[in-house]
Chain A
C-alpha cells in the first residue's frame, strides 16, 4: 500500500470514530427533533406534517414566552453571581497563594463537588434553606429572627442560589486557566511604569482574562437554560423553567411536536449565545494583538 493511501486510511480511522459518534448522537437526534417540531399532535402521539402551528403557539400563548423570559432572567442572574464569586476565587488562587502545592489543593477542593451527584448537592440546599432548616434554626437561635422565615426556599431566590453553587466550579476553571497564562512580566512592566495595582488590574489582568470569563459565563448560562432539577427540588409555584415545560410537553401534556419546537427555540438561543461569546473572544484577542 502506498504511504499516502495508508495515511488516508489512518486519518479516516482516527476521525471516523468521533465523526460517526457526533453524527449518531448529535445530528441525528437534532434532525429528528427538528422534524417533529413541524408535526401535528394527534392523541396519543402525532402525525407527520409540515406546518408552523407549533412555533406560532409558542408566541401566541403567553405561558411559553413567559417561562422563556423567566428562564433567561434566572440564567442571567446565575451567570452574574457565578462569575462574581468565581473571579476573586480564581484570582486569589493564581496570584495570592504562594505555595504551588496549596494552590493545587485549593483548586482541587473547588472541583471536587463536581464529582458528587448534582441531585444530592441540590437536595442538600433543601435541608439548609427550609423553614426548619439549618439557616433558619441558626437565625432563630441567634435571635436575628423571631420565627423561621419562608423566604429562603421554594422560590426563585433558592433556584438562583442552588444553581450558582452548582456552576461556580465551571466558572473557576476557565478563569483560573486564563489568569494563570498571564505572564508575570506584563504586570511588572505596568508597575515599572508607575501604575498602581488597581489600574494594573483594570488595564492588564482583567482584559487578558476576558476569554476565561466568557467561557465560564457561557457554560453557566447554557447549563442553567436547560436545568430542570433546581425548579423541581427548590423552586416554588413560580419556579417553572423552560426545561420543566419541555419535560411536561413530552410527558403529561403529551404534545411532542410542541415540545420539539420549544427545544428548537432553546437550542437556537444557546447556539446564539455560544456564537456571540466566541466572536467576542476573538475580537478581544485581536485588540490585544
Chain B
C-alpha cells in the first residue's frame, strides 16, 4: 500500500515538474510527432523543449501500417514521423515526405555508414530520413511459466501453451509463420507460400490469447499472466517487465529474427520546419541517442554519440561495435505485394 501511494506521489510530482518545465519554456513553436511508444519520453523530450522552445506532442502508432493511413486522413497534423526502414520508402512513394536538407543538420557523419546510405532512405542523391534507432524482433517468454528454454518459433504453435500465446497484430505475423514453414524469402512470398502462412496462422488461433496492438498492451498481457510467449520489440517490453519484477527472457529462434531500423522523416508541407530541424539535430546528440536507448533498450544509429555516452559494456551488448550485426537478422523490407500481405493478415484475423 505504501509503495503504491509513494508511486502515485512520484507520478504526481513528475507530472508537476513536466508541467512546470513546459510552462517555463517560451513556447515559440510546436512539434507533432507520429511515432512509436518510447520515442517521445519526457526524460529526453523535456530538455529539448526547454532548449528549443518547441512544444512536443506525440501520437503513437502500433504498426508500421498506421503511418500512411494517418497521413492520408489527417493532412497537416503531423510534422515528423518515425517509420521503419520497410515503410520509409512507402511514405516517400506516396508523396507525403519532404527530403532532408542535409545542410541544416550537424553530425550526420557520425551515423553508421550502413544506415546513412541505406537504399530505403536515399534516392536520386537525396536523403529522405534521419536514422534514429535499430534492433530486432526477437521472441520473449516468461521464465517462471515456461521452464524449458524455447529455441524455435514452433514453441508458439505448441499446444502445451494453449491460451498463453500472443503475436503482434501486424503483417509481421506472416513473416513468423512463413519462417516456421521454412520459407526464408519472407518479403517475396508467392501465393502458395502466403496461403501456407495463412493456414499456419489460422491453425494457431485456438492457442492465441490475444493479438497485441501496442507495446503497453503486451507488457500488460505478460504482467497479468495472460500471455507467456510472444514476439516483441527487442529490448523494450522485456525491460519494462523486468522493472515490474516479471521474469522474462528474450530469445532469437533457430528460424532467425527480423531486424529493423527507424528514421525520422519530415512530413511534406509542415509549417513547423524550424522545430522539425531542431528535433532532427537533437536526435543525433548523445543526450537523445542515449536517452532513447535507456528508455527502449534499442541500439542507436549514431555511432559517434553512442561511443560518447554509453559504457563500453552497453556499447558491446547493443552491438554498437558492429552494426553489421543487423545484416545477420532478416532486415525488414517493403514486401513486393504489400496489399496482399495486409489482406492476408486481415483474413487470418477474420477467420473462425
Q: Contacts A63-B351, A245-B346, A253-B346; is A44 near B210 (CB within 8 Å)?
A: no
Q: Which of A64, A248, A254 contacts B68, CB < 8 Å?
A: A254
Q: In the complex, what residues of A have CB within 8 A of residue B96's CB?
A: 44
Q: Do A61 and B205 touch across chains, with their CB atoms under 8 A apart?
A: no
* In the complex, chain B residues whose CB is within 8 Å of the CB of A131: 224-226
Cβ of A248 and Cβ of B346 under 8 Å apart?
Answer: yes
The answer to the question of B10 belonging to the interface, with a C-beta cut-off of 8 Å to chain A, is no
Bound-state Cα–Cα, A136 to B73, Å: 42
Whether the pair A44, B94 counts as a contact (CB closer than 8 A) is yes
The residue of chain A having its C-beta at the shortest distance from the C-beta of B163 within the complex is A150
Shortest Cβ gap from B195 to chain A (Å): 13
Report Cα–Cα, A62/B350, bound state, in Å.
Answer: 9
* Complex interface: stretch among A9-17, A98-106, A236-244, A269-277: A236-244
Q: Within 8 Å CB of A130, what residues of B? A: 224-226
- Residues of B within 8 Å of A240, CB to CB, are 349-350
Q: Determine how close the nearest CB of chain B comes to the CB of A180; give it in whole angstroms.
A: 43
For the complex, what is the distance from the CA of A70 to the CA of B351, rounded to whole Å? 10
Query: Which of B63, B68, B208, B346 contacts A236, CB < 8 Å?
Result: B208
Which B-chain residue is minimally distant from A237 (CB atoms)? B208
- Cβ of B349 and Cβ of A132 under 8 Å apart? no
Contact of A67 with B by CB under 8 A: yes
Partner among A62, A154, A248 whose Cβ is within 8 Å of the Cβ of B210: A154
Evaluate contact between B205 and A238: CB separation under 8 angstroms. Answer: yes
Structural contact, B69 and A251, CB atoms closer than 8 A: yes
Which residues B209-231 have CB closer than 8 A to chain A? 209-211, 213, 224-226
The reply on B72 being an interface residue by CB < 8 A is yes
Tell me how many residues of B have a C-beta within 8 Å of chain A.
Answer: 32
Tell whether A51 is near chain B: CB-to-CB under 8 Å.
no
Q: In this assembly, does B122 line the interface, its C-beta being within 8 Å of a C-beta of chain A?
A: no
Q: Enumerate A51-101 residues with CB–CB distance to B below 8 Å.
A: 61-64, 66-67, 70
Interface string of B338-351 (1 = CB under 8 A from A): 01001100110111
- A61 and B224 CA atoms in complex are apart in Å by 37
CB-contact partner of B72 in A45, A150, A236, A245, under 8 A: A45
Instruction: Decide yes or no whether B65 CB sits under 8 A from chain A.
Output: yes
The smallest beta-carbon distance between A205 and chain B, in angstroms, is 41
Q: Which residues of B contact A70 (CB under 8 A)?
A: 352
A153 with B226: in contact, given A63-B346, A64-B350, A252-B342 (CB under 8 Å)?
A: yes
> What is the number of residues of chain A that contact chain B, defined by CB distance less than 8 Å?
31
A250 within 8 A of B: yes
Assess the A66–B339 pair: CB atoms within 8 A: no
Q: Which residue of A lies closest to B69 (CB)?
A: A251
Instruction: Label chain A's interface by main secondary structure.
Output: loop
A62: which B residues are within 8 A, CB to CB? 347, 350-351
Min distance, Cβ A1 to any Cβ of chain B, angstroms: 47
**Closest CB-CB distance, A276 to chain B, in whole Å?**
27
Would you call A254 and B69 a contact (CB within 8 A)? yes
Residues of B within 8 A of A154 (CB): 209-210, 226
Q: What is the CA–CA distance of A232 and B206 in the complex, to the nearest angstrom? A: 18
Q: For chains A and B in complex, what number of residue pairs have CB atoms within 8 angstroms?
A: 80
The residue that A66 contacts in the complex, of B63, B73, B352, with Cβ under 8 A, is B352
Q: For B206, what are the chain A residues with a Cβ–Cβ distance below 8 Å?
A: 237
Q: Which residues of B contact A64 (CB under 8 A)?
A: 350
| B350 and A43 form a contact (CB under 8 A) | no
Minimum CB–CB distance from A258 to chain B (whole Å) comes to 10
Docked CA distance A238–B206 (Å): 8
A45 CB contacts on chain B under 8 angstroms:
72
Residue pair B210, A238 in contact (C-beta under 8 Å): no
Most buried by B among A236, A238, A244, A252: A252
Contact B205 A253 (CB under 8 A): no
The yes or no answer to B66 lying at the interface (CB within 8 A) is yes
CB-CB contacts below 8 Å: B307-352 with A: 339, 342-343, 346-347, 349-352
Beta-carbon contact of A63 and B68 below 8 Å: no
Q: Complex formed: what's the CA distance from A236 to B72 in Å? A: 29
Task: Output the least CB separation between B98 and chain A (Å).
Answer: 16
In the assembly, what is the distance between CA of A236 and CA of B206, in Å? 10
A67 CB contact (under 8 Å) in B164, B225, B350: B350
Q: Which residues of A contact B211 (CB under 8 A)?
A: 237
Q: In the complex, what's the smallest C-beta–C-beta distance from A216 to chain B, in angstroms? A: 30
Bound-state Cα–Cα, A238 to B209, Å: 10
User: Do A251 and B66 touch across chains, with their CB atoms under 8 A apart?
Assistant: yes
Q: Are A245 and B350 in contact (CB under 8 A)?
A: yes
CB under 8 Å from chain B, chain A span 220-274:
232, 235-238, 240, 244-245, 248, 250-254
- A145–B68 alpha-carbon span in the complex (Å): 48
**Which residues in window 125-141 of A have CB below 8 A to B?**
130-132
A124 to B63, CA, bound (A): 26
The reply to whether B65 and A132 contact each other, CB–CB distance below 8 Å, is no
Distance between Cα atoms of A250 and B69 in the complex (Å): 7
**Cβ–Cβ contact B69 & A237, under 8 A:** no
B68: chain A residues at CB < 8 Å are 44, 254
Interface residues of B (CB under 8 A from A): 63, 65-66, 68-69, 71-73, 94-96, 163-164, 205-206, 208-211, 213, 224-226, 339, 342-343, 346-347, 349-352
The 10 closest A-B pairs by CB, nearest first: A63-B350, A252-B65, A237-B208, A44-B94, A150-B163, A63-B347, A237-B205, A251-B69, A67-B350, A154-B210
Residues of A within 8 A of B (CB): 43-45, 61-64, 66-67, 70, 130-132, 148, 150, 153-154, 232, 235-238, 240, 244-245, 248, 250-254
A-B contact pairs, 18 of them (CB 8 A): A43-B94, A63-B350, A66-B352, A130-B226, A132-B224, A150-B163, A153-B226, A236-B210, A238-B352, A248-B346, A250-B73, A251-B65, A251-B69, A252-B66, A253-B65, A253-B346, A254-B69, A254-B72
Q: A154-B210, A253-B346 are in contact. List 7 more A-B contacts (CB 8 A).
A: A43-B94, A66-B352, A132-B224, A237-B210, A251-B65, A253-B339, A254-B68
